[in-house]
């Protein structure tokens, strides 16, 4: 049969669906892995005072890298060490406060086994994810989660396919479970993704990233300029002027003070109300962050006042949103 004839006769769709169904059927059994061992693994990681370090070789190594990345971006500091590099000095990156998560389908990978004596000496807690129990790595682990994947969807039943997908799912489940238990906030998530497009979605509100009123310098309009200079926030370079009932009436920036000083020097007699800006640009805390970004860009300002019910509740600085 020629190559063209083979292409015509091949049913890619039905073959693909058949393989996908086999993988889904195997993955459905993974709920059985969420048991007491999963509980103990979560508990160990939650109380870890160091880092969570993942290890694996071959395809399991690629999955281990991804799991470490997911842990790190969802509130659990983590990184990947390749076992070969670990055996040539990178074991020095590991301390007794860390936790090692080892991914190995067979649980007998030579590159991992040679590290066991050193890891035991370091008294590092080991969590392993393997195909079954009874293998060497599962025996030396503090906790072992076994996937019970018997058959790969590879046509030879050999290439890591279903087994690595199962490891990935278990890793994701560990990371997101811990993220929920830690009450990992959207603001912290944003801070670990400064170069992404996440900040531009309507899911993120102004209130998620703003600086609260308790972190701001707020003064009354009858304060002297001398007092304002003493109080002005060096980082934000701004003092917010409010009435007694906390209504914003103006702002004073470093630039305003500089301009005044060029022509005047009577700081103690000058009221801040005489130099403050009153044509304020503000936003409500429940607005999407993208609206705040657009206001800052459009008006070419560094600080955006956040007001609810006509009262000051916070501020967004240009550096808070990585514009």
Q: 147 or 323: whose pLDDT is higher?
A: 147
Q: What is the pLDDT of residue 3?
A: 55
pLDDT band at 170 (very low <50, low <70, confident <90, very high): very high
Q: How confident is the model over 179-230, as pLDDT tens digits?
A: 999 888 766 676 666 555 555 556 678 887 888 888 888 999 889 888 888 8
DSSP per-residue string spanning 137-165: HHHH-SEEEE------SSTTS-SSSHHHH
Asked if residues 219 and 248 have their Cβ atoms less than 8 Å apart, the reply is no
Q: How confident is the model over 32-83, as pLDDT tens digits?
A: 889 999 999 999 999 999 999 999 999 999 999 999 999 998 989 999 999 9
Asked if residues 136 and 113 have their Cβ atoms less than 8 Å apart, the reply is yes
H-helix or E-strand containing 263?
A: none
H-helix or E-strand containing 188?
A: helix 186-191
DSSP per-residue string spanning 82-144: -HHHHTTTGGGG--TT-EEEEE-SSS--HHHHTTHHHHHHHT-EEEEEESSSSSHHHHH-SEE
**Per-residue three-class SS string for 190-253:** HHCCCCCCHHHCCCCEHHHHCEEHHHCCEEECCCEHHHHHHHCCCCCCEEEEECCCCEEEEEEE
Compute the mean pLDDT over every residue in the chain, rounded to the nearest whole number: 87
Q: How far apart are CA 105 and CA 120, in angstroms?
A: 21
Quick one: tokens of 210? 């703003």
Q: Could you tell me what percent of the chain has a pLDDT over 90? A: 47
Apex CA 48: angle with CA 44 and CA 50, to 5°?
A: 145
Question: What does the buried/exposed string (b/e) look like for 127-155 if buried means 16 or more CB atoms within 10 Å of the residue's CB?
Answer: bbbbbeeebbbbebbebbbbbebeebbee
Q: Backbone phi, then psi, for 183, in 5-degree steps?
A: 55, 45
Asked if residues 306 and 210 have their Cβ atoms less than 8 Å apart, the reply is yes
> What are the counts of helices (DSSP H) followed by strands (DSSP E) for the chain?
14, 12
Q: From residue 91, how far is each of 111, 130, 295 by CA, in Å?
A: 13, 22, 49
Alpha carbon 113 to its chain's center: 32
Strands 311-317 and 211-212, bridge-based pairing: antiparallel
Q: What is the pLDDT of residue 323?
A: 44
**Domains annotated on the chain, with CATH:** 11-184 (3.40.50.10490), 198-320 (3.10.580.10)
Q: How confident is the model over 100-126, as pLDDT tens digits?
A: 999 999 999 999 999 999 999 999 999
Q: What is the pLDDT of residue 198?
A: 53
| pLDDT mean over 142-151 | 88
């Amino acid at each position: 049969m020629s190559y063209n004839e083979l292409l015509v006769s091949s049913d890619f769709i039905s073959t693909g669906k058949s393989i996908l169904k086999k993988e889904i059927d195997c993955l459905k059994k993974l709920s059985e892995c969420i048991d007491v061992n999963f509980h103990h693994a979560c508990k160990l990681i939650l109380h870890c005072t160091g880092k969570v370090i993942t290890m694996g070789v071959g395809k399991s190594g690629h999955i281990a890298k991804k799991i470490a990345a997911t842990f790190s971006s969802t509130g659990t500091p983590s990184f990947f060490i390749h076992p070969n590099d670990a055996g040539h000095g990178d074991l020095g990156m590991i301390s007794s406060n860390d936790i090692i998560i080892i991914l190995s389908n067979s649980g007998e990978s030579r590159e991992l086994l040679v590290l066991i004596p050193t890891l035991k000496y370091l008294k590092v807690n080991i969590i392993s994810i393997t195909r079954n129990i009874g293998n060497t790595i599962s025996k030396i682990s503090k906790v072992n989660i076994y996937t019970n994947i018997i058959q790969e969807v590879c046509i030879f039943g050999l290439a890591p396919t279903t087994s690595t997908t199962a490891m990935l799912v278990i890793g994701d489940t560990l990371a997101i479970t811990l993220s929920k238990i830690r009450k990992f906030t959207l603001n912290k998530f944003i801070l670990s993704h400064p170069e992404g497009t996440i900040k531009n979605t309507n899911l993120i509100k102004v209130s998620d990233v703003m600086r609260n009123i308790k972190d701001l310098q707020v003064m009354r309009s009858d304060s002297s300029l001398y007092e304002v200079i003493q109080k002005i926030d060096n980082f934000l370079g701004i003092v917010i002027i409010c009435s007694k009932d906390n209504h914003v009436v103006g702002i004073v920036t470093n630039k305003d003070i500089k301009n005044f000083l060029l022509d005047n020097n009577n700081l103690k007699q000058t009221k801040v109300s005489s130099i403050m800006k009153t044509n304020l640009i503000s936003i409500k805390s429940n607005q999407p962050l993208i609206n705040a970004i657009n206001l800052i860009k459009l008006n070419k300002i560094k600080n955006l006042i956040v007001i609810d019910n006509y009262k000051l509740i916070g501020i967004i600085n240009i550096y808070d949103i990585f514009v």
